[in-house]
Amino acid sequence: MSQNQKPKLILENGLRTDGRKPDELRPMKMEIGVLKNADGSSIIEVGNTKIIAAVYGPKEIHPRHLALPGRATIRVRYHMMPFSTDERKSPSPSRREIEISKVIREALESSILVEQFPRSSIDVFMEVIQADAGTRLASLMAASLAVVDAGIPVKDIIAAVAVGKADGVIVLDLNEPEDMWGEADLPVAMMPSINQVNLIQMNGNLTPEEFKQAIDLASRGIQTIYNMEKETLKSKYIEFKEES
Ligand code: CDP
């Protein structure tokens, strides 16, 4: 990350540094079933942020003493590849990666019907291939898609986006300069069909009115992303149907 002086985040024409309007999402791509050896997998691109996720399970848990009698244990690893950031990142897990793994586990766990798989484990791995802001949310979405790809029952798919404030303007889907220099960063993840929040964090300051505006903007972005996720899953099933 460059530590230069704060750049202008909203330009004279009202657009952002990457040419987007304040309420515009970054271009997104997603695909499931991208890895042959995992039970479920996905790859997701949100602007320049790229994540690959793999799911193993449900399977018998090892070591056995970790088994929970009434539910599955969800184990999650969020990891950044050494070449994913501006400056080489050490491959060993940082405190930030450990914390983000925990945050993602809690968010993901609340979407999975864990009671259906007592004494088993579901292991979820996410690798950040390229980081350009919003990696925790892109990873969470990649994990959610990979869980569904593994055939694991969920309450709903998770859709997520960060909103924030840049040069006094409430903006949707923060890019790296906005994440770094903006006045507020508010990642939100939801299960839209049951209107349940899986994750909400906040860095910086917003007035109650701005907070409401930001949440409204996030909900709209989440709905668009959710529709894209559903299309991604549907297109895979259509592919299967055509093959058989
Ligand atoms: O990625 P996310 O926004 O969820 O988390 P963050 O801790 O707010 O990090 C913001 C961004 O800083 C990341 O997406 C990366 O682009 C960048 N970053 C980096 O370049 N090197 C790191 N070691 C950590 C983060």
> Is it the case that residue 3 has pLDDT exceeding 80?
no
Q: What's the whole-number average pLDDT of the chain?
A: 96
Whether the pLDDT of residue 4 is over 80: the answer is: no
Cβ neighbour number for residue 227 with a 10 Å cutoff: 12
Q: Are 178 and 133 in contact (CB under 8 A)?
A: yes
ipTM above 0.95, yes or no: yes
Give residue ranges with CB within 6 A of ligand 1.
1, 85-86, 89, 96, 131-136, 176, 179
> pLDDT tens for residues 169-225?
999 999 999 999 999 999 999 999 999 999 999 999 999 999 999 999 999 999 999
- What tens digit of pLDDT does each residue of 19-69 get? 999 999 999 999 999 999 999 999 999 999 999 999 999 999 999 999 999
- Closest C-alpha among 121, 162, 169 to residue 21: 169
Q: Name the E strands within 20-175.
A: 28-32, 40-46, 49-60, 73-80, 120-130, 159-166, 169-172
Res. 1: pLDDT tops 60: no
Q: How far is the CA of 44 from the centre of ligand 1 (A)?
A: 16
| Tens digits of residue pLDDT in 78-115 | 999 999 999 999 999 999 999 999 999 999 999 999 99
pLDDT band (50, 70, 90) for residue 242: confident
Helix (H, G, I), strand (E, B) or coil at 136: helix
Distance from the CA of 132 to the center of ligand 1, in angstroms? 7
The residue nearest atom 21 of ligand 1, judged by CA position, is 85
Where in the chain are the domains?
A: 28-243
- Domain 28-243 superfamily per CATH: GHMP Kinase, N-terminal domain (3.30.230.70)
Mean pLDDT score, 110-122: 98
pLDDT value at 121 more than 70: yes
- For residue 216, how far is its CA from the centre of ligand 1 (angstroms)? 24
